[in-house]
Amino acid sequence: MSTRKPPRGGALSGRGGRSVNQRVKKGRGLKNSSRRWIERQINDPYVQRAKAEGMRSRAAYKLIEIDDKHQILKRGDRVVDLGAAPGGWCQVAVARVGSDDTDKRIAAIDYLEMDAMPGVAVLQKDFLDDDAPDALIEALGGRPDVVLSDMAAPTIGHRKTDHIRTMHLCEVAADFAIRTLKPGGHFLAKTFQGGTEKQLLDLLKSNFASVIHVKPPASRDESVELYILAKGFKGDNADG
């Protein structure tokens, strides 16, 4: 894994180099949808950049672009990363908060396996398990300054159902953030276009100084994903 620090300052647009648009030949047993996905991956400048810079996923650039603009990660922060695998967001957070193995300031959780990373306490566990929140706080060594969630339910192709399932994960993540964040802390979570539920928005607006939707350039134009960013937690959880 590369230890190169993800850049701050100036949102990355992925225009760092030219690439020839490549096509995958039609083959027996290869569905058109699979062929299109492969072509998209081959030609995606963020995928190319992630490989060149040793990032674990192109999703890292979504967090880089959001943080460059909204400044949610600060040196010395403690961070929880929900739905962390394969670890792209953790790589960004490690560099920006200054976490290392002598003082791990990031706790990451996913039911999928994730390779170990310096500066990160990795829990292979379902965040929906009853004991997961306490396990995260114990691994972090205190309350978080930032809660990140890139969790999304596996899609089934039915937009309304996919939206509802991912919104549930967003709501659970928001509840965790409200119960654990330090005052002034921030919450960033994936949602889907189709309208964030009013009840969730009202909950966040009553607990944070500002709540907005963001779609970073690294999020594909055709993707229905959005991110909800709640900044300036107004609660009093200052015992961490």
Residue 232, Ramachandran bin (φ over 0: left; ψ between -120 and 50: alpha; else beta): left
Neighbours of 234 (CB within 10 A): 13
Q: Determine contact, residues 236/183, Cβ cutoff 8 Å.
A: yes
Residue whose C-alpha is closest to residue 126's, from 182, 179, 85 = 85
| Active-site residue, selected from the candidate residues 104, 190, 198, 234 | 190
Distance (Å) of CA 231 to CA 70, 111, 146: 9, 27, 9
Please confirm, yes or no, whether 205 is among the known catalytic residues.
no
Neighbours of 99 (CB within 10 A): 25
Structure tokens at 136: 């995260």
Supply the residues annotated as catalytic. 190
